[in-house]
Chain A
């Protein structure tokens, strides 16, 4: 048994914000902790439930159908915003994927309506009348302790996201659309808060990033390597699918 951990993960709205098999990400985190003897605890919080700012090392929010995302947006602001902000303040990792990424920003403008966000990332999203941005995508990432690494996955979003001065892009688009199809930026991060449009199960295609999240959430501990031949091949296939 390792001295580190356990890794305590809190999934936000696991029943609603899970449209692209987001549970694949949670399963990656779980197994990669278990195989290293690091404990793993998973809790979910749903609509109307209060969030405990001290109860998790990593908060995860995936993507949802439009109607479900609307339900979650207002609940997030009403019941969870201050706790999430406090968690981010003490260095917990907050990771939003696709719709979850949009809700970590200031707002998501859909026509005349505006879905509120929690404002933990200095980004704004506007739903475009143009085509959805769909396809394989690869980005090169510069994160603390992970420079020039590649994330490969799939994106499918109608929103165009623009980053303000208070956040940095998660990565630079090598192939694909990224935040808005225009500025070659993808995702955003600020401290320990991260968001990306690489949706659903991106961690199975990017085992290194699963480990980066585990390590960062546990205070930057070093993780012993795992036998990753299959994971490396899946990563190579995802890159090839994106054309990188």
Chain B
């Protein structure tokens, strides 16, 4: 028994004890215990992975992009060590490695795939020493926890500067804050969207990074697709969107169920049917494609993986609850919420909604962001909204001022009661639930208690 082996046994025992109390999955606690006992554990355990690791970060789409990537890499024959439960801080990554560790210096897997919280990218990257790193986007999010966007961008620039030149860096060309990170790196793959049909008429309210990272002049946008993502250049210093080698063209969005597009890569062109809705998921698919190409997966395997990929936990996932088809669409910041709403407006029917706004630490204590999201988009499509969560009333006020009549709004702070009401109203139709992060966990727990879905740590196992 190695010294690390003993510490691993202790940390596992703690994890089991927590799980036995039934107070949740205990997804990050065993890892945190392990790191207390063995601060180098992430580095030592990830070094056991024969094909190295890939790290993914972004404000939006981390879990879905990692899920698509995992589907592809498994098809390519890899056995993954992957933090699927969204336990994406240091402790969660350590927990994932902990459960894969085997006696005698082994590990159950040949490749690591880790989605990492924006804030933890530096420390985790340093320990994992990834073979490839994907950075997807940066949007305004939980300012009380993450601070300003520019601060995170600068922090990420330091992370990239610390990478060996041989680390494959995969970046979103359409996000100026992200694209700028590749300026001096040796091995960079850019991805982006090329389809003017999907351009927005104007910039959304919550858009950020409208000014050049180099010289401070406002960017000129020829096309805007989503938030501040698009085709841009700086009229003052000449900085412009890098030409992406992995692109989506001819995109068609099929409501809340799917998207089709032409995938263009250096290895060829393929038409793709993605069973995930919305332009934001096309971005996630492009990101996964570029990452897998950087990991030398053949294009046909990638396309097979894209087409087989399913919605991640609570991200456009559909659950059948008696007669009602319930779709769970996590919302956690303005840019992500806007894309969810834009996708919902593609549905022909009037919408029956259950929206849940919590202000717990993992949601951000500050609920100001709901006033940045363009709920006005949804207003003309609403039949009825049940507002729930710790800040249910503020969400109802937001909808009222967005133009939803008060007669179409019901405030039910208690989640179980709100779910009952919303299901009863939806009947044999569809119900769309828009929860914040802890609300998603609570909703999932409620559905699990009623026998409709397995608990989240089981799906994550």
Q: Residues of A at under 8 Å CB distance from B?
A: 15, 18-21, 23-24, 27-28, 31, 65-68, 71, 132, 134-136, 154, 156, 199-201, 204-205, 227, 230-231, 233-234, 236-238, 241
Q: Is B414 an interface residue (CB 8 A)?
A: no
A231 touches B397 (CB 8 A): yes
Q: Is B221 an interface residue (CB 8 A)?
A: no
How many whole Å from A201's CB to the nearest CB in chain B? 4
A230 touches B368 (CB 8 A): no
- Name which residue of chain A comes closest to B373, CB basis: A21
- Name which residue of chain B comes closest to A201, CB basis: B371
B144 touches A234 (CB 8 A): no
Contacts known (A15-B210, A136-B365, A154-B365); A27 close to B397, Cβ less than 8 A: no
A233: B residues at CB distance < 8 A: 393, 396, 411
Beyond the given A19-B143, A205-B394, A230-B397, please list 10 additional residue pairs across the A-B interface where CB-CB is below 8 A. A19-B148, A20-B368, A21-B372, A24-B368, A31-B401, A67-B216, A200-B368, A230-B406, A237-B393, A241-B390
B406 touches A65 (CB 8 A): no
B391: A residues at CB distance < 8 A: 234, 237, 241
A156: B residues at CB distance < 8 A: 143-144, 366
B359 touches A230 (CB 8 A): no
How many whole Å from A161's CB to the nearest CB in chain B? 19
B334: A residues at CB distance < 8 A: 21
Distance A106 CA – B324 CA, assembled complex (angstroms):
60
A237: B residues at CB distance < 8 A: 390-394
How many whole Å from A73's CB to the nearest CB in chain B? 14
B144 touches A21 (CB 8 A): no
Q: Can you list 14 contacts pairing A with B, beta carbon distance less than 8 Å? A: A21-B206, A23-B371, A23-B372, A27-B371, A31-B401, A65-B150, A66-B150, A67-B211, A71-B216, A230-B393, A230-B400, A230-B409, A234-B396, A237-B394
Q: Is B369 an interface residue (CB 8 A)?
A: yes
How many whole Å from A192's CB to the nearest CB in chain B? 25
Q: Is B297 an interface residue (CB 8 A)?
A: no
A-B contact count (CB 8 A): 90
Interface centre among A15, A227, A230 (most CB of B within 10 A): A230
Distance A78 CA – B371 CA, assembled complex (angstroms):
31
Distance A231 CA – B400 CA, assembled complex (angstroms):
10
- Name which residue of chain B comes closest to A28, CB basis: B401
B216: A residues at CB distance < 8 A: 67, 71
- Name which residue of chain A comes closest to B205, CB basis: A23
Q: Is B377 an interface residue (CB 8 A)?
A: no
A135 touches B401 (CB 8 A): no
How many whole Å from B430's CB to the nearest CB in chain A? 26
Q: Is B381 an interface residue (CB 8 A)?
A: no
Contact indicator per residue, chain B 369-393, by CB within 8 Å of chain A (1) or not (0): 1111000000000000000001111
B370: A residues at CB distance < 8 A: 21
How many whole Å from B370's CB to the nearest CB in chain A? 8
Interface residues of B in 324-362 (CB under 8 A from A): 334, 359
How many whole Å from B447's CB to the nearest CB in chain A? 25
B394 touches A200 (CB 8 A): no
Distance A201 CA – B143 CA, assembled complex (angstroms):
14
- Name which residue of chain B comes closest to A232, CB basis: B393
Contacts known (A66-B148, A233-B393); A204 close to B401, Cβ less than 8 A: yes
- Name which residue of chain B comes closest to A63, CB basis: B143
Contact indicator per residue, chain B 402-413, by CB within 8 Å of chain A (1) or not (0): 000010010100
How many whole Å from A1's CB to the nearest CB in chain B? 21
B371: A residues at CB distance < 8 A: 21, 23-24, 27, 200-201, 204
A227: B residues at CB distance < 8 A: 406
The 9 closest A-B pairs by CB, nearest first: A24-B371, A233-B393, A21-B371, A200-B368, A21-B372, A201-B371, A234-B393, A234-B394, A154-B366
Distance A23 CA – B143 CA, assembled complex (angstroms):
16
Distance A62 CA – B406 CA, assembled complex (angstroms):
29
- Name which residue of chain B comes closest to A200, CB basis: B368
Q: Is B198 an interface residue (CB 8 A)?
A: no
Distance A230 CA – B148 CA, assembled complex (angstroms):
31
Q: Is B398 an interface residue (CB 8 A)?
A: yes
- Name which residue of chain A comes closest to B372, CB basis: A21
How many whole Å from A198's CB to the nearest CB in chain B? 10
A19: B residues at CB distance < 8 A: 140, 143, 148
